[in-house]
């Protein structure tokens, strides 16, 4: 048995199939009795309009895409990716859109080609690009494709493309001030190094500035956002000569690694050294001591990003909005 089409419904209701279409699209000027007859036919035949035909005819799709840059598809535990993806899905579903996912990576121009291809094939209407160290050429590509795009966690001031990010500088200043007030004098930040215009850069730069403003000794050591790198970085600091009394991790995952290393090395936290994170993921409550961290409103950011994307997609699109949401220091036990 094959699926019912418009014509089947029309035949069943004894009208022409365009009338059925009119009923479906709430067109005015349809006699209530006809309307009812059509509705009944739809119900008894269990008719559902074919989405592909509709999309073809209207040349519009109700799917969005979130593209993660620099995140491996196979790291299915990445809390950052997972949280953001879920937030996007929740928000776009609420707006009547589906959401698919793609992965971009710097090394693979083909990943960009695939995304472009999927867009031009009309598989999705616009993309949320999540990634903090896209090159400006890469950003430029999106504009060239004329693909509605919102950059997430990556500001691109020069190119004025729509973006949503958080005020990392503010959070970092709050954190450093808090540490200074506690009498901490020697601050070390664990964070990725060689990426510009990224959230890492924002966090790093404001760290340095804030530390200097407070007259504190400071050092930056490298991590790659992972638990293991946080652990390794703390061990390196412990073995090194700088001897920090406050270790700031660039994200919660590295902070968890640092905490573990401290525990292993019998370093008291926060007695001997404070350890703090950045993100405020749920597991910041799971560590012992619980993690002092900077809350980043990812949920809210995702909501805004989807909103921005949808206005960008809609016909009378305005100019590029660049949003930055406030962060907030969350003081728990570790700092």
Partner DNA sequence: ATGAAAGCGCTAACAA
Partner DNA sequence: TTGTTAGCGCTTTCAT
Residue 286 engages a second copy in binding (rule: CB under 8 A): yes
CA 134 to chain centroid: 14
Q: What DSSP string runs through 100-162?
A: EEEEEBTTBHHHHHHHHHHHHTTS-SEEEEE-S---HHHHHHHHHHT--EEEES---GGGT--
Cα-flanking dihedrals φ and ψ of residue 276, to 5°? Answer: -135, 160
Distance CA 178, CA 250 (A): 16
Q: Which stretch binds a second copy (CB under 8 A): 22-30, 33-41, 75-83, 315-323?
A: 75-83
Question: CB of residue 119 vs a second copy: minimum separation in angstroms?
Answer: 8
Tell me if residue 260 falls in helix, strand or coil: helix
Q: For the CA atoms of 176, 182, 183, 188, what is the dihedral angle to 10 degrees?
A: -40
Tell me if residue 165 falls in helix, strand or coil: strand
Instruction: Report the residue from 20, 23, 69, 78 that binds a second copy according to the rule CB under 8 A.
Output: 78
**Cβ neighbours of 259 (radius 10 Å):** 26
Binding site for DNA (CB under 7 A): 2-3, 5-7, 15-19, 21-22, 24-25, 28-31, 33-35, 49-50, 53-54, 56-59
Of residues 205 and 268, the one with the C-beta less far from a second copy = 268
Q: Do β-strands 186-191 and 328-330 pair in parallel, antiparallel, or remain unpaired?
A: unpaired
Per-residue three-class SS string for 68-106 = EECCCCCCCCCHHHHHHHHHHHHHHHHCCCEEEEEEEEC
Q: What residues from 9 to 68 belong to the interface with a second copy (CB under 8 A)? A: 46, 48-53, 55-56, 59, 61, 63
Instruction: Report the residue from 42, 256, 301, 335 that binds a second copy according to the rule CB under 8 A.
Output: 256
Find all residues with CB under 8 Å of 8, minimum gap 6, and list them.
45, 47
Question: CB of residue 193 vs a second copy: minimum separation in angstroms?
Answer: 24
Question: CB of residue 289 vs a second copy: minimum separation in angstroms?
Answer: 8
Q: Which stretch binds a second copy (CB under 8 A): 119-127, 177-185, 190-198, 205-213?
A: 119-127
Question: CB of residue 212 vs a second copy: minimum separation in angstroms?
Answer: 32
Find all residues with CB under 8 Å of 217, minimum gap 6, and list them.
185, 186, 187, 211, 242
Token readout for 16 is 């022409």
Element (H, E) at 63: strand 63-69
Q: What residues from 191 to 250 belong to the interface with a second copy (CB under 8 A)? A: 227
Residue 297 engages a second copy in binding (rule: CB under 8 A): no
Of residues 4 and 321, the one with the C-beta less far from DNA = 4
> Which of a second copy, DNA, none lies near 87, with the C-beta cut-off 5 to 8 A by kind?
a second copy
Residue 99 engages a second copy in binding (rule: CB under 8 A): yes
> Which of a second copy, DNA, none lies near 102, with the C-beta cut-off 5 to 8 A by kind?
a second copy
> Which of a second copy, DNA, none lies near 260, with the C-beta cut-off 5 to 8 A by kind?
a second copy
Residues that bind a second copy (CB under 8 A): 3, 46, 48-53, 55-56, 59, 61, 63, 73-74, 76-79, 81-83, 85-87, 89-90, 93-94, 98-103, 117, 120-123, 227, 256, 259-260, 263, 281-283, 285-288, 290, 298-299
């Amino acid at each position: 048995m094959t699926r019912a089409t418009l014509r089947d419904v029309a035949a069943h209701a004894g009208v022409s199939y365009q009338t059925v279409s009119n009923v479906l699209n709430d067109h005015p000027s349809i006699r209530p009795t006809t309307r009812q007859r059509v509705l009944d036919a739809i119900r008894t035949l269990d008719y559902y309009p074919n989405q592909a035909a509709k999309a073809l005819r209207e040349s519009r799709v109700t799917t969005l895409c979130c593209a993660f840059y620099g995140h491996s598809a196979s790291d299915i535990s990445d809390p950052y990716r997972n949280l953001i993806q879920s937030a996007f899905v929740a928000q776009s579903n609420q707006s009547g859109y589906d959401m698919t996912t793609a992965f971009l990576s710097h090394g693979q121009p083909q990943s960009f080609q695939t995304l472009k291809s999927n867009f031009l094939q009309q598989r999705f209407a616009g993309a949320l690009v999540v990634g903090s160290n896209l090159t400006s050429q890469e950003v430029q590509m999106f504009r060239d494709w004329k693909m509605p795009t919102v950059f997430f966690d990556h500001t691109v001031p020069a190119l004025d493309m729509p973006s949503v990010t958080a005020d990392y500088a503010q959070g970092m200043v709050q954190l450093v001030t808090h540490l200074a007030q506690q009498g901490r004098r020697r601050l070390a930040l664990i964070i990725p190094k060689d990426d510009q215009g990224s959230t890492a850069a924002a966090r790093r730069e404001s760290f340095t500035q804030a530390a200097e403003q407070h007259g504190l000794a400071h050092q930056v050591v490298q991590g790659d956002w992972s638990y293991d790198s946080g652990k390794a970085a703390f061990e390196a600091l412990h073995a090194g000569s700088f001897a920090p009394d406050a270790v700031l991790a660039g994200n919660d995952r590295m902070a968890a690694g640092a905490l573990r290393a401290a525990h292993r090395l019998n370093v008291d936290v926060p007695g001997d050294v404070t350890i703090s994170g950045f993100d405020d993921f749920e597991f910041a409550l799971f560590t012992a001591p619980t993690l002092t961290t900077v809350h980043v409103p990812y949920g809210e950011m995702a909501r805004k990003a989807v909103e921005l994307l949808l206005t960008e997609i809609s016909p009378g699109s305005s100019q590029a909005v660049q949003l930055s949401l406030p962060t907030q220091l969350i003081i728990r036990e570790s700092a």
